Structure 1
Amino acid sequence: MTQDARFEDGAERPLQLVAMDPDDLSVLSALVQDAVFPITEMTWSARKRRLGFLVNRMRWEDAPNAEARGRRPERVQSLLVIENVLGVASQGVDRSDKDTILSVLSLTFEPGEDAEGYVVLTLAGDGAIRAQVEALEVALRDVTRPYAAVSGKAPRHPD
């Protein structure tokens, strides 16, 4: 008998997840909500058909534990990689300003013909990055040890 993973199972280990359908992607979206990254940490390789981001994400999977133990919430650097990318477009993102810091609100999939569609990274401030994909495949992998959030608190969103 197999048992589904629980949210708490990832609390003390680096995450390494892959989304192959919209339901999987909603999990990654929750984990990268409020992630921040400099615009210089976004890379598109047309030859490899890959769009990658080095993000500083909140460790939402550990946030309840941190608060209960009196610790500051943590962030961790993670690679967010979209595979099978045919093209990339952006809106409300000034790529010429190398000092820009972007903040992720959500990650969604807009289906198209067959397996094709668009992976949309919605950003704070009305920005968005849209990757046209041949098939949905998005990976999230923690690449550093967690560190205390500089702000000392987790972002809050009105209900």
Structure 2
Amino acid sequence: MEPPNRPCELALRLHALDSEDLSLLSAHVQDALVRVGDIAFLADKRRFALVGSRFDWAAELDGRLERCRCGLHFEGVQRVRCQRICRDQPDAVLELLAVTFEPDPEPPSGVIRLYFAGGASIALDVECVEAQLCDVGPRWKVAARPNHDFSGELDEHAPRGP
């Protein structure tokens, strides 16, 4: 039987300093599961951080279905805004879908957005893109890969807006 922890050489460490780097980082955290209680804004340090369990998309290419604990943090954060996240429910789990950057008219400042399933999001007003992703804990097998329905088919019977 294989031990639950994999060798340290599989640990991922990424540093993003521009929107292209951030796109790569976003691909690695796609479908990460994050407890609301594991999200923090350290205003005095201008740092936003979270801990989650990311699906290892690179391992899937080798035929392994695994998740691992990871930390993600952003530096130079001036303000944080949340939408559809109940901070009074610390055990609620969010599924991170993407991380994007929208530059201000005067770069390098802008807004980093973390998009979660169900319409939840977090907007970080930042001085510039400076993010780090690091595997920080165990790695374990999972039964299935995350799955998204991108068929684009619309339900004809869905209620219409005003």
Deviations 1:91-126 (A, max 9, x none): 111111122111101000010122100110000000
Aligned length: 141
**Which amino acid in 2 is paired with 1:133?**
V
SS in 1 for 2:53: strand
1:157 corresponding residue in structure 2: 148
1:104 corresponding residue in structure 2: 96
TM-score by length of 1: 0.85
For the residues of structure 1 that align with 2:39 and 2:52, how far apart are their CA atoms?
9
Unaligned residue ranges in structure 2 (runs of 5+): 1-8, 151-162
**Which amino acid in 2 is paired with 1:156?**
N
For the residues of structure 2 that align with 1:144 and 1:52, how far apart are their CA atoms?
16
2:132 corresponding residue in structure 1: 139
Identical columns (%): 36
For the residues of structure 2 that align with 1:145 and 1:61, how far apart are their CA atoms?
16
Q: CA deviation at 1:138?
A: 0.8
Q: Does residue 1:38 correspond to 2:29, yes or no?
A: no
**Which amino acid in 1 is paired with 2:74?**
I
**Which amino acid in 1 is paired with 2:122?**
I
Q: Does residue 1:22 correspond to 2:5, yes or no?
A: no
1:8 corresponding residue in structure 2: none
1:85 corresponding residue in structure 2: 77
**Which residue of 37, 52, 56 corresponds with 2:53?**
56
1:9 corresponding residue in structure 2: none
For the residues of structure 2 that align with 1:118 and 1:97, how far apart are their CA atoms?
25
Deviations 1:37-83 (A, max 9, x none): 110000110111100000100011111212xxxx5x10000001011
Q: Does residue 1:121 correspond to 2:117, yes or no?
A: no
Which structure has the bigger radius of gyration?
Answer: 2
Unaligned residue ranges in structure 1 (runs of 5+): 1-11
SS in 1 for 2:27: helix
Deviations 1:9-31 (A, max 9, x none): xxx61011001111111111111
Please tell me the root mean square deviation across aligned C-alpha atoms, in Å. 1.1
For the residues of structure 2 that align with 1:61 and 1:37, how far apart are their CA atoms?
20
For the residues of structure 1 that align with 2:110 and 2:101, how far apart are their CA atoms?
7
Q: CA deviation at 1:157?
A: 2.5
